[in-house]
Amino acid sequence: MNAHSPRPSATAAAPGVAPARKKKTGSRAWRAVRHNLPFLIGASILLAVALIAICAGVLYPGDPRDMVTLPLSWPLTDNEYPLGSGSLGTDLASGLAHGAQASLLVGVSAASVGLLIGILVGAIGGYFGGIADDILVRITELFQTVPTFLLVIVLVAISGPSLPIIAGAIGVATWPTVARLVRAEFRTLRSNDFVLAARSLGYSTTRIIFGEILPNALPPIVVTTSVLAANAILTEAGLSFLGMGDPNLVSWGSMIADGRSLLRTEWFVTALPGAAITLTVLSLNLVGDGLNDILNPRSESNR
């Protein structure tokens, strides 16, 4: 299922020439991108969301929690506030834009934390093997056994809800996926010719791991990153919905929580932020699937 494209092995022992996949696959990858409609759709949505998030402060200056209009006007009824208003007369459009900021920020930073830990653990275990690997695998299994969402909640409950803590907690709870993947990649790559060449040239272990092997293990890691970010956004939404999000930020999850009491009448207050989450997560998934097809041409048939 998880077929990766065959790795070019460097026959030349020239220093620093771990086979760079980009060069070889460059033009073919571009063609694959242009013909991959789901990827293009996903990338466009993601780009739009990111743009809104970045420009939120400019488009909607002022606190999205401020009362600006009459409460609970339905979408498309007020030209000034096209997406309607919340229970306290907040502008939902402004909330969604600022929420995009919070969601993407959490998604990106949680994925980074997860990647960092996962790559470190996976690379060390996969490259060195032996006892170090055994111990790291055990720890990875341990963290996979603990229910992710519960662990995040416990960590946030202990350390207090702020955006860095939330992102860190999500990262800490989700790194095992990355670690397993990186470990598998390293185990197959470590006996390749270009690693032997680098070793025979007396490169330091750190340089071999991060300079030679890691670039070649990147494609599947890139694909996983989008999944990681998507899951982080979903987890953050759940946290904020439970009232455990950063109290200083408006996030899509907290907007849903706000709308909950109005569910019987003004359900759009709940529906809109949920749709925003869905769209963003959807775009990340499409990008991930697309990247998988583009970077691993052989596996495109099993999607």
Residues at the contact surface with another protein, assessed by CB under 8 A: 1, 138-139, 141-142, 144-155, 157-159, 230, 234, 237-238, 241-244, 253, 256, 260, 263-264, 267, 270-271, 274, 277-279, 281-282, 285-286, 302-303
Pick 73 or 235: Cβ nearer another protein: 235
Pick 153 or 163: Cβ nearer another protein: 153
Minimal distance in Å, beta carbon 91 to another protein? Answer: 21
Rounded-to-integer distance, Cα 252 and Cα 245, Å: 10
Minimal distance in Å, beta carbon 95 to another protein? Answer: 15
Q: What is the DSSP code string of 122-162?
A: HHHHHHH-HHHHHHHHHHHHHHHHS-HHHHHHHHHHHH---
Pick 137 or 295: Cβ nearer another protein: 137
**Among residues 208, 214, 212, 114, which one has the least CA distance to residue 167?**
114
Cβ atoms within 10 Å, residue 33: 15
Minimal distance in Å, beta carbon 266 to another protein? Answer: 10
Minimal distance in Å, beta carbon 229 to another protein? Answer: 12
DSSP alpha helix (H) spans, the chain: 21-35, 37-59, 92-128, 130-145, 148-159, 163-189, 193-200, 205-207, 214-241, 252-260, 268-295
* Residues 299 and 292 sit within 8 Å (Cβ to Cβ): yes
Pick 113 or 244: Cβ nearer another protein: 244
**Among residues 210, 236, 224, 222, which one has the least CA distance to residue 110?**
236
Task: State the burial class of residue 216 (Cβ atoms within 10 Å of its Cβ: 0-12, 13-18, 19+).
Answer: buried
Q: What is the DSSP letter of 211?
A: I
Minimal distance in Å, beta carbon 118 to another protein? Answer: 17
Pick 185 or 289: Cβ nearer another protein: 289
Q: Calculate Rg over the CA atoms of the chain.
A: 22
Minimal distance in Å, beta carbon 256 to another protein? Answer: 6
**Among residues 49, 83, 85, which one has the least CA distance to residue 67?**
85
Pick 145 or 200: Cβ nearer another protein: 145
Minimal distance in Å, beta carbon 120 to another protein? Answer: 19
